[in-house]
Structure 1
Amino acid sequence: MKKYILIVCLAFTLTSCKKDASFSKEEVSVVEMQSPEPQPVNNHDVSQNSEQKIIKNGKLRFETADFEKTADKIYTAVKKYKAQIQSDNEGKDYNSITRNIVIRVSNENFENILNDISSGISYFDQKEISSEDVTEQFIDLEARLKAKKELENRYLDLLKKANKISEILEIEKELVAIREEIESKQGQLNYLQNRVSMSTLEITFYKHTTETGVTVSYGSKMWNSIKGGVSWIPGFFLGLLYIWPLLLIASLVFYYLRKRKKNLKN
């Protein structure tokens, strides 16, 4: 009788161990099934309950009579509205000089700095002002990021309960994937927030130059080409010195073939 009782107890113990061994996969499945999904964003709710997220961009292109005065005017406006110069490039072609300045300015000061820079300009070759409402995209990213963080916390709770290497490895593998998604969503959200908080204004202005400067510039280019050709000659002969064995072999082969051809004729 004691033997039968012992066998029953042993069978019960083995069954309990098997149940414990399946802890990780079952718990992981439950967590995945119960992971929160972001609800679709309602446009009406967005307009009622959320601050609008607007990305503003502008492009200006115009001719100026005073190149330096225009640049000073732009830099004065940048300082006045605490904007930032993202880039400032100047170039020259055959009959004009061009300067391109890209400004980042806070959304609330976008119209102000635009008006200051545009004042006194009678004609624009290009004037484009655009705004993009990204409120829905912003809220959707926030919701997805929140859901991923909640899922991460659930896996962390599972990790505390795990007592086997296999369970720990499986949960940590899931955590790595979730954290990668969190970092990706956070990066997208930060980029969107940066574009919303700071508007971009690209300004291009140019001035026509006289033909005299072009002639002098072209003559200088010709002279530089001549000097470059002269300086190339010593380098050519130095290069020949590096390949003298090949030249010697080629000369011997040519001499042999020529002599053989001559003998065949005779």
Structure 2
Amino acid sequence: MRRTWGVIAVFLAAVLLAGCTTNSGSSVSSDSGNSSESVSGGVAPAAGDKASVTGTTGDVNTSSRDVITTGSLSITATDPVKASESAVTITEQAGGRVDSRSENPATDVQPASANLTLRIPSDELDRTLAELKKLGTLNFVTLTAQDVTQQSQDLDARITALTTSVDRLLALMASATTTADLISIESALSSRQGELESLQSQRDYLADQIDYSTVQLELVAEGTVAASGPDTFWSGIIAGWTALVTALGGLLVGLGVALPWLVLLAIVGTIVLLIVRMFARRRKAA
């Protein structure tokens, strides 16, 4: 009997020991699974997020962009014609050129002025504008930038594709065996070369616009561009007197232009009146 209970006790101890071992293995497996899930679901995405952030907007290299800059500049100078010569010198020293230039010396009717179209290297634009502003009193300056990077890249891609096509046609022409094939290849080659030259011309023009900023420079004499409005009683009187003199001067100029026509009309009217009176007297005498 005691041996029976002893066997039973040993059996129960073995069962309990097996159960504990099973629970321990399950716990380790679960923990291992959680650990594996933590690595794949937590650490890996964090590393991925960190890898996706490579910089900020301030790190963008703007020098790789193609930009066309245009602007206008108005300056009041003591002698606009002389200032125009200085503007040409400043532009040429910066490596630029003058595309157009017109000068109007002072006369009794109009003050002196000058207008220039300057092509200034884009990397010298700021320094050149600073030099031009020293020619007199700055009235206004405006600058506009247009990003044409996509247009430039599109032209480059089309030129590359057409160049490859032309080279291929030239190779086919060299190996052509029949007259019909030769004529067909020449026709296609002529069309592709014409299109390629047109695209290259567009690209050269665009490159010139990018490399050289276009600035319209206006030089005017003192008093041509009105300064700020009068802020005192006496400055108001002076401004009013100046406006009156200017208006009377314009009226006199207009009268001088119309005077010859008025004289001619008066002479014609007098002749017509004399003829009418002469016919009236003849009728009365009859």
| TM-score bin (small chain) | 0.5 to 0.7
Displacement of 1:60 in angstroms is: 1.0
> Which residue does 1:164 correspond to in 2?
178
Whether 2:98 is the aligned partner of 1:85: answer: yes
> Which residue does 2:13 correspond to in 1?
none
Letter in 2 for 1:81: A
- How does 1:1-266 map onto structure 2 within 5 Å? 51-91=64-104, 94-119=109-134, 121-124=136-139, 126-207=140-221
Q: Does structure 1 retain, via aligned residues, the 8 Å contact 2:81–2:114?
A: no
> Which residue does 2:45 correspond to in 1?
none
The structure with higher relative contact order (CA 8 Å, sep 6+) is 1
CA gap 1:65/1:158 in 2 versus in 1, 3 angstroms: same
Displacement of 1:48 in angstroms is: 6.5
CA gap 1:96/1:185 in 2 versus in 1, 3 angstroms: same
CA gap 1:163/1:78 in 2 versus in 1, 3 angstroms: same
Letter in 2 for 1:74: A
Displacement of 1:78 in angstroms is: 2.3
Q: Does structure 2 retain, via aligned residues, the 8 Å contact 1:95–1:214?
A: no
Helix, strand or coil at the partner of 1:184: helix
Displacement of 1:99 in angstroms is: 0.8
CA gap 1:224/1:151 in 2 versus in 1, 3 angstroms: farther
CA gap 1:142/1:50 in 2 versus in 1, 3 angstroms: farther
> Which residue does 1:25 correspond to in 2?
none
CA gap 1:163/1:79 in 2 versus in 1, 3 angstroms: closer
Letter in 1 for 2:161: A
Helix, strand or coil at the partner of 2:112: strand
Q: Which runs of 5+ in 1 are unaligned?
A: 1-43, 230-266
Displacement of 1:67 in angstroms is: 2.6
Larger Rg: 2
Helix, strand or coil at the partner of 1:163: coil
CA gap 1:150/1:49 in 2 versus in 1, 3 angstroms: farther
Show structure 1 runs of 4+ deviating over 6 A.
Answer: 47-50, 213-225
Give the Cα–Cα distance (whole angstroms) in 1 for the partners of residues 194 and 174 of structure 2.
Answer: 21
Q: Does structure 1 retain, via aligned residues, the 8 Å contact 2:101–2:116?
A: yes
TM-score (norm 2): 0.53
- Aligned-pair identity in percent equals 22
Displacement of 1:71 in angstroms is: 2.6
Letter in 2 for 1:65: T
Deviations, residues 217-265 of structure 1 (Å, cap 9, x unaligned): 989989999xxx9xxxxxxxxxxxxxxxxxxxxxxxxxxxxxxxxxxxx
Q: Does structure 2 retain, via aligned residues, the 8 Å contact 1:58–1:129?
A: yes
Displacement of 1:49 in angstroms is: 11
TM-score (norm 1): 0.56
Letter in 1 for 2:173: L
Displacement of 1:51 in angstroms is: 2.5
Letter in 2 for 1:191: Y
Give the Cα–Cα distance (whole angstroms) in 2 for the partners of residues 106 and 129 of structure 1.
Answer: 14
Q: CA RMSD in A?
A: 3.7
Give the Cα–Cα distance (whole angstroms) in 2 for the partners of residues 86 and 165 of structure 1.
Answer: 50
Give the Cα–Cα distance (whole angstroms) in 2 for the partners of residues 128 and 147 of structure 1.
Answer: 39
Deviations, residues 155-187 of structure 1 (Å, cap 9, x unaligned): 222222321111111111111111111011111
Length, aligned pairs only: 184
Displacement of 1:63 in angstroms is: 2.8
